[in-house]
Every structure is written in structure tokens, then in C-alpha cells.
Structure 1
Amino acid sequence: MDRRTLLKGTAAAAVGAPLASLAMPTSAKAASVYHVAVCEQGRNQILIHPVAPDVDWTPATQLWQWKAPAGDAWNMLSDVKFRNTTAFGWVALVTASGGKVGIVNMGDGDGLLWQATPNGNPHSIERIPDIGVIVTASSETRSPGGYPGCLTIYAPTNSDDPSTLAQVQTIDYEGAHGLWYDGSHLWALGTWTLTQYEVTGSHRDARLVKVWGHTWPDPKHPFNGHGLDTDHSDPNYLLITGGGSVLRVNKSTGALTPMKPSSDGVKSFARIASGESFWQQAVDAKIHWNIFIEFFDSSGNFDRTRKLQGYGYEGQFYKARLSSVDFT
């Protein structure tokens, strides 16, 4: 399905920057109408559906689908983000715990513009606009006997050409699971630490330089950071999950505020502009997916669930994110 014209026609998008456009109503639609992307591991695919009262997640309401290539390295899709680029319009940034990361050219055959194999269980990926740098987070050993987790930085010779990307830096980062670029800094989340980085240089000289970090010091109760996202209701804050907690982070002060009662196994938590929110919560310690995504109203009260219907199989959702791609 070729949606290139539709995808590149979304107005007022900051090129390459994370968006909250679908966190806000674009017309007379109710504030509770937005789009959610899920990493569905049963069929190893990314799906986007609308969230609205009385709208089920069916093949008829599906807005976009991407199935990972065959092969063990693309197994277990674990993250997706959407970024608008100068050269290609909307792209999807995808990671798979099997070992691969990539950039999908949405709406132009949905082919891979670039892919790589960072060491050790990739769990997140982010793109730095204007300079076209890609950063990935891997949660496990990056080499035999090596450090248990790392950030890998890829930089291009041509910021509009992903095929020119090459690895330029690796930063040891235990249990690296989350990445988010807020337009000024890159944020990373791991087992013990939330860190703010400045992105310096351009092209192959691009590097990450640590600015600030918060560490959970108790070795008996590590935070075990997993999900990292912006708070679309207020971009001065981040939202993180880990250790049975969902926390709101003040980016200026580093202050941490509990967002929801402790709940184990929350792989991702997102909050839209109205204050409504949703999460993916694992079934248990052994089954990391769930057939449901749970939604909450602006007061944090449970509101509804969504699951796949009419597909002929139950979804195995590993992560859910607000989709910034405007299909209207």
C-alpha cells in the first residue's frame, strides 16, 4: 500500500522531530481520538489503529502494518517510533530483540532504508534530526565477556542518506532499554540510570556527551528501567517505567513523581495531551506480552481495553506507543 503522498502531506511537522500531533484533536474530533502503534510479537509486526469510543482494532480500522523480515535477528519486535524526515517523509524506527534495528520507509513500499545489528538485545532506537544520527539501546552483553548493555551511535556522511550511516561510538550502559530525543537532548534509560546527553558535532564527528544523570543506588532493588517516553500533556516532563513503577520526570530538576500505583511488568506507558494514558503490562515474569492494551482517563482511572479482533489470532503486544503519523 503506497501512502507516500498522504504521509508526506501532513502539515506543520517539525522535520525529523518527535511529534505529539495525534495527542491533540486535529478538527472537531473528541480529544479521546488518537492513534496507537503496537509491537505485536505473535506475527512479528507493527500495527497502527485508532483509539476512539466504540472503535475496535480490526483489519478494517487498521491504518498501517509492517511485518519484519524473516530471520532470527528480526524476531521479537521490541520498539517503534515515527519520525518525519526531509528526504523520505515519515519513517518508522524499529528494533527487534533478536538483534536488528532499522529505518522503514513508510508509504513507499515500506522497505528498509537501513538496518544494522548492534550487540546485545536491542530495545530502543532514536534519530537525531538535521544531522541524521541514529542511536540504539541494547540491554545485554555487547561482546563476549563485555559490559552488560550499551548505547551504539551511528553517524552518516550525508544526513539525508541512511545508507551512509556507520558506527562511530559505543557507550557502556547497563540494561539500556529506553531512548528519547526531545529536540534538545537525548535521554537514555537503563537498569540503574536515567541520563541526559548532548549531541555534539555532525556527520561522522557526531558524539554523545553526558550532561546529567540520575542513578538508583540500591543494589538489592535496581530500578530496572524499561519504558521511556515524553509526556505529551507537558513536554517539560518524561515518563519512565521500571521496577513496578511509572514515574514522571521533571527534565529541569530531575525530580521524580509517581504517576500510577506500583504495577509490575509495565513495558510502556504513554500520556496524550488531554491527560488520558495507556500502557502495555506483561502477563507475568515469564510472558512479557499481553493480548490487551489498557487505557485510562485523565484522572488515571481505568477506562477501556483494546485487543485485536477479526484477525483470526490474538495479538501478543510487547509495547504500545502514540503514533505521530497523521492519517487524516
Structure 2
Amino acid sequence: MPTSAQAASVYHVAVCEQLKNQILIHPFAPGVDWTPATRLWSWSAPAQSAWGMLSDVKFRNTTAFGWVALVTASGGKVGIVNMGDGDGLLWQAEPKGNPHSIERIPDIGAVVTASSAPLDADADPQSPDHYPGYLTVYGPTNSDDPSTLAKVQTIAYQGAHGLWYDGNYLWALGTWTLTQYQVTGSHRDTRLVKVWGYTWPDKDHPFNGHSLDADHTDPNFLLLTGGGSVLRFNKSTKVFTTVTPSGVGVKSFARIASGESFWQQASGPGPGPRDHQNYFIQFFDRVGTSVEHRNLRGYGYDGQFYRARLSSVDFT
């Protein structure tokens, strides 16, 4: 069972692998290939269409269950996996649309998900049931029991793809917008209240926000991937700077405390079988120079990666 945060420089990487529809964690360390023998943890989604195409994973430490994995699937499902007890699902829901991100609010135990595509494709486009993307908030009756979660709020959010809770605010990223929310209330009274928001001005060339993550070199920054670039966002000054302008097709970007980084670039070297996947995860040194491409070895198949995240847990 995982116990503590992983140190920098030798670290653990979690991938959403869509061929077998699984989450895999391997170490990134010199001379250590990603093989079944070096695999630290894996989880396979239930064999249901709504669990198809795993799209995101985050790891959070909880009071009642220890480390859990938050997972989403483009087929429509989201869930919480109990990593310390048989990897069973503590909770699952179907916000519909195309779920791309999930976050848990500690202490109150609420969960927020981000979905792109309409809530109800058959609904009138002008009706509340035809959001072109939305956030869904789930509140519990017992903060330590995910099985008590139920939907309490839905917020229209164009192309919702990214979520990150930084300990003070929940941040959401979509097609044109980055938004800061205060989480108010508790239990079934949990609600998101908008504090600040930014909209990219070029409607003809939207940012197409995709992935949102912490910059582990400095907690005052977030990292964003869009249609063609990776940006760093200062939460205090609300200023964006470009990490790389050549980030076309990047589905996720992570930077560890030492400054090393990695991404999944669907249009990068070693393209995958679909335009949103890749067989490789690309790694960079502290100055942004590409140093390695990692793929699965010894599995008997080529992993089809969609996203890659820094694993915050240690299995020693």
C-alpha cells in the first residue's frame, strides 16, 4: 500500500493506457524500463462501455482509506479506486458527456468532474440539458464515505477538460476559459462559487484548454496545455508565460520539483494509432531538452497512452 510522497529526480509516472483500458504506474529512473516486473501498480476499468477510454487519473490521500485514485473515462464514467484494499471502486458515477478530469476536495470529501460534449445530445441546444461542456459537483452526507456522494450542482462550462484543487481554490480549464472557484459549504450544501476567470480573446482560434496541473517547482504556479502550446500561470499575478510554443497535440504536461518534466504529445515522435494517443511518453531535463521517450516493454503489446501524471504516492 502506498505511504508517502515520492522524492524528486527518481519518480513515479502514471499513465492512462487505452488499448487495455488501464492505469499503470512505473518508476522513471535510469536503466529501468517500463515492464511488468517494474510496474508498481495497475488498475483495469470495468468491462463496460461507459468505462471505455480511460482519460485521466489523480492520486489523493484520504483519512478513511489512505491513497485513492480518481479516474475518469471518456465513455461517461468517473470513480474513486481504493488503492489500499483490493483496488475496488469506492464510488462511481456517470456525469455523461465526455469526462476528462476529476478532483476531490479534502476534509469535506466532495468531488468535482469536468465533461466536454453535451449533457444530453438530444436536448434542445438552448436548453439547460444541452451544455457544450459542464462541471458536476458531488456532495456527501458523510465526508469519509464516498458511497454517500450525490450530484448537487452542475455548471455550464464550454469544453471542460481540466481541474485542479490547490488547497485553497478549485481551478477549471476549458475551450476558452480558465476559472478560479471557491468551494463553499459542506456535505450536500457544497457549491462552487466563481472568484475569477480569464477568457482567451481569439474566438476564431480558441485556446482549447486540455490539461491542468500543479507546477511542482513552485506552488504559486499552474501548468496548462492547449491546442498548440504549454503555458505556466502565476496564480497571484494572473499572468501567463509560455513554457513551449510547440505543444501541438499535448494532452498532459507535468513538471516535478527538480524542474524535470514529461508530456504526452499525440502528434509527437512515435505517433499512436489514433490522433489523441501515443505509444511513447516524452521526458525533458531541467532546461527543457528532450532526453528520452518511454514506452511499454515486455507486455506483448504497445501501450496506447492518453495522459501521463506524476504519481504522488510511494509503494515502498
- TM-score with structure 2 length normalisation? 0.95
Deviation of 1:41 after TM superposition, in Å, equals 0.2
Query: How far 1:292 sits from its partner (Å)?
Result: 0.2
Give the secondary-structure state (helix, strand or coil) at the position aligned to 1:240: strand
Task: Determine helix, strand or coil for the equivalent of 1:84.
Answer: strand
2:278 pairs with 1:290: yes
- Equivalent pair of 2:249/2:265 in contact (CA under 8 Å): yes
Which of 316, 319, 325 in structure 1 is aligned with 2:304? 316
Q: Quick one: distance in 1 between partners of 2:174 and 2:88?
A: 30
Which residue of the partner structure matches residue 259 of structure 1? 243
Partner-residue secondary structure (3-state), 2:224: strand
Which ranges of 4 or more aligned residues in structure 1 deviate by more than 3 Å?
A: 283-286
* 1:151-198 alpha-carbon deviations (Å, 9 max, x no partner): 000000000001110100000000000000000000000000000000
1:119, 1:217 → 2: CA distance?
A: 29
- Does structure 1 retain, via aligned residues, the 8 Å contact 2:77–2:96? no
Deviation, 1:84, is 0.5
2:250 is matched by which residue type in structure 1?
A: V
Does residue 26 of structure 2 align to residue 49 of structure 1?
yes
Provide the residue aligned with 2:149 in structure 1: 165
Aligned counterpart, 2:10: 33
Residue 78 of structure 1 is matched in structure 2 by: 55
Structure 2, unpaired ranges of 5+: none
Query: 1:260: how far off?
Result: 1.3
Give the CA deviation at 1:107: 2.4
State the partner residue of 1:16: none
> What stretches of structure 1 of length at least 5 have no aligned partner?
1-5, 11-20, 26-31
Q: Which amino acid aligns with 1:305?
A: H
Are 1:230 and 2:214 an aligned pair?
yes
Whichever residue aligns with residue 88 of structure 2, its letter is: G
Match of 1:304 among 265, 281, 292: 292
> C-alpha separation between the residues in 1 aligned to 2:237 and 2:198?
11
Pairwise CA distance, 1:119: 2.4
In 1: Cα distance, 2:258 partner to 2:138 partner: 35
Distance 1:139 1:325 in 2: 29
- CA-to-aligned-CA distance 1:2-42 (integer Å, 9 cap, x gap): xxxx32x43xxxxxxxxxx32x34xxxxxx20000000000
1:192-233 CA-partner distances (Å, limit 9, x unpaired): 000000000011111000001110021110000001000001
What amino acid is the match of 1:130?
D
Name which of 175, 182, 187 aligns with 1:198. Answer: 182
Q: Kindly indicate whether residue 262 of structure 2 is the aligned counterpart of residue 278 of structure 1.
A: yes
Cross-structure match for 2:135: 151
Task: Assess if the C-alpha contact under 8 Å between 2:65 and 2:84 holds in 1.
Answer: no
**Which runs of structure 2 are paired with 1:53-72 in the superposition (5 Å)?**
53-72=30-49
Q: Could you tell me which of 83, 88, 95 is aligned with 1:106?
A: 83
Equivalent residue of 1:141, what SS? coil
2:96 aligns with: 119
1:140 paired to 2:117: yes
2:289 and 2:173 map into 1 onto residues whose CA distance is: 27
| C-alpha RMSD of matched pairs (Å) | 1.1
Structure 2 residue 83 is the aligned partner of structure 1 residue 95: no
- Cα distance in structure 2, aligned partners of 1:155 and 1:147: 21
Aligned position for 1:183 = 167
**2:216 aligned partner, one-letter code:** H
**Which letter does structure 2 place at the counterpart of 1:213?**
G
Residue aligned with 1:169, SS: strand
Three-state SS of the structure 2 residue aligned to 1:148 is coil
Q: C-alpha separation between the residues in 2 aligned to 1:196 and 1:117?
A: 24
Q: 8 Å contact 2:251–2:306 — kept in the other structure?
A: yes
Query: How many residues are matched?
Result: 305
Which deviates more from structure 2 when the two are superposed, residues 281-290 or residues 119-128? 281-290
| AA of the residue aligned to 1:48 | I
